[in-house]
């Protein structure tokens, strides 16, 4: 859980960009999430354990490109072959994760303090991402995720909702402010509300 804000020096609440004479509901909402635990789960190449037998908070590890296994609290993002990112608001999940995975088969790394998380809400949020990211967003639907770049910054994009869009972006903590500036600059033309 990231208790210390990554964006405390840059993220100010209010309305920005081209927001005048627009309904607040039509603006992009930009917020920072800092109450989530993040774990990287990597299965060793030599491991022969079937991932279908593993159950985390009622979810199984998915081996399909772009897919996210999810429930209300927890999301497991596919990051590559035998590699996942677990994101959850359940802090007590930490203890069960360590007992679920054998050290000889999996590497579990706590990344909770090393990521900046920015959430975008609103239908124009995809248009914002298209400005800096080369990925074809027409392919992405609800509960899809993708690793890509935004203005040269490596990011993970998680589509939580697609109507209206709710998108969670993860970047290395040290790139957080830089990503935030890139995102808010790209949002100016649509108008955005920092919450």
Partner 1 sequence: MLHIKCPYCGTRSQNEFAYGGDATIKRPELNKEVSDKEWDTFVYFRKSPRGKHLEFWHHISGCRQWFKVQRDTTTHEIFKTLKPNEDI
State the residues that interact with partner 1 by CB under 8 A. Answer: 65-66, 79-81, 83, 134-135, 146-149, 152, 154
User: What separation in angstroms does the CA of 119 have from each of 32, 97, 108, 109?
Assistant: 6, 25, 25, 23
Q: Which is nearer to partner 1, 89 or 147 (CB)?
A: 147
Rounded least distance, CB 97 to partner 1, Å:
21
Q: Which is nearer to partner 1, 58 or 134 (CB)?
A: 134
Rounded least distance, CB 168 to partner 1, Å:
17
Q: Which is nearer to partner 1, 84 or 192 (CB)?
A: 84
Rounded least distance, CB 155 to partner 1, Å:
8
Q: Which is nearer to partner 1, 57 or 158 (CB)?
A: 158
- Strand 28-33 and strand 192-194: pairing? parallel
- CA distance linking residue 139 with residue 32, whole number of Å: 26
Rounded least distance, CB 83 to partner 1, Å:
7
Closest to 186 measured CA to CA, from 155, 163, 161, 160:
155
Q: Which is nearer to partner 1, 89 or 148 (CB)?
A: 148
Q: Which is nearer to partner 1, 78 or 190 (CB)?
A: 78
In the structure encoding, which two tokens stand for residue 60, read together? 């199984």
Rounded least distance, CB 79 to partner 1, Å:
7
In 3-state terms, what secondary structure has residue 82? coil
- Strand 115-121 and strand 28-33: pairing? antiparallel
> Under a CB-based contact definition with an 8 Å cutoff, are residues 188 and 16 in contact?
yes
User: Which residue do the tokens 């108008």 mark?
Assistant: 191
Rounded least distance, CB 175 to partner 1, Å:
12
User: What separation in angstroms does the CA of 84 have from each of 27, 42, 65, 147?
Assistant: 32, 6, 11, 11
């Amino acid at each position: 859980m990231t208790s210390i804000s990554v964006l405390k020096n840059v993220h100010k609440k209010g309305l920005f960009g081209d927001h005048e004479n627009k309904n607040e509901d039509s603006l992009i909402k930009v917020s920072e999430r800092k109450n989530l635990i993040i774990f990287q789960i990597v299965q060793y190449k030599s491991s022969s354990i079937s991932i279908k037998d593993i159950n985390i908070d009622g979810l199984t590890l998915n081996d399909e490109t772009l897919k996210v296994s999810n429930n209300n609290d927890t999301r497991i993002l596919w990051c590559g072959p035998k590699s996942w990112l677990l994101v959850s608001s359940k802090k007590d999940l930490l203890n069960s994760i360590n007992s679920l995975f054998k050290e000889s088969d999996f590497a579990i790394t706590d990344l909770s303090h090393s990521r900046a998380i920015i959430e975008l809400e609103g239908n124009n949020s995809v248009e914002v991402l298209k400005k800096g990211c080369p990925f074809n967003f027409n392919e992405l639907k609800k509960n899809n995720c993708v690793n890509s770049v935004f203005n040269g910054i490596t990011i993970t994009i998680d589509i939580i909702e697609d109507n209206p869009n709710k998108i969670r972006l993860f970047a290395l903590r040290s790139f957080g402010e830089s990503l935030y500036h890139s995102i808010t600059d790209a949002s100016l033309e649509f108008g955005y509300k920092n919450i």
